[in-house]
A = this chain, B = another copy of it.
Amino acid sequence: MNAVNESPRRKELTRLAAQLFVQEGFDRTTVRMLAQEMGIKSGSLFHHFRDKQEILAAVIEEGTQNALSLARQALESCGDSARERLHAMARAHLETLLTDRNAHVVALYEWRRLDAAARDHLSHLRDAYEALWEQVIDEALEAGLVHGDRFLVSRFVMGALNWTVRWYDPEGERKPGDLAHELVAMITPAAPLTASESTKV
């Protein structure tokens, strides 16, 4: 009912909605489908969410919050070198893309379906996340680890990472840490790895 309400029930419903939104797309997912997946009738759905849009906003907010806190955590617990921090960010990004896959796919594909108010609110969250990235990229540039335009490098990196939802297979052999390692290796001149890059959580 309340927009700020974060009851466990609502969280669970949000998780189910995310799954359906990924399977069918937001527009093709009807309130009746959502209700059935949740084990209730379509009318009851509007007790938890004001309207369909609010469900979408809840899904995206959940995913973005998780990404943000995971990234902050990763930066706190990694080493100080620019290379380690870059690797930690990439790895955190890929890990949240894996664990909250549905929410992030929805955020990437259905962002435009948000109404103006929700988009405004959520873009602040996203900006906070991207600011972390720009900071780490800046450090990498200053350390001479990466070369090029600050704006372009961060865009290219974000693109490479976000594109992974298209082809990454969580059941496969490659782990998020491996992908992060390969990406960092690709954009930096060859240099020996520090120990923490292959072991740290």
Contacts and interface: CB of A to CB of B under 8 A. Distances in A.
Interface stretch (A9-17, A50-58, A80-88, A142-150): A142-150
Contacts of A158: 163
A93 to B, nearest CB: 12
A167 B149 CA distance: 15
A190 B187 contact: no
Interface residues of A, number: 32
- Chain A's interface: helix, strand, loop or mixed, by majority? helix
Interface string A137-165: 00000000011110011011111111110
A146 B28 contact: no
A182 B157 CA distance: 12
A101 B182 CA distance: 30
A170 interface: no
Given A185-B148, A186-B187, A189-B190, A157 B155 contact: no
A35 interface: no
Contacts of A112: 25
A27 interface: yes
A189 B188 CA distance: 8
A152 B181 CA distance: 11
A162 B159 contact: yes
Nearest to A111: B166
Nearest to A146: B186
Please give me the 5 A-B residue pairs with the lowest Cβ-Cβ distance, nearest first: A159-B163, A27-B27, A156-B160, A159-B160, A160-B160
Interface of A: 25, 27-28, 109, 112-113, 146-149, 152-153, 155-164, 166-167, 179, 182-183, 185-187, 189-190
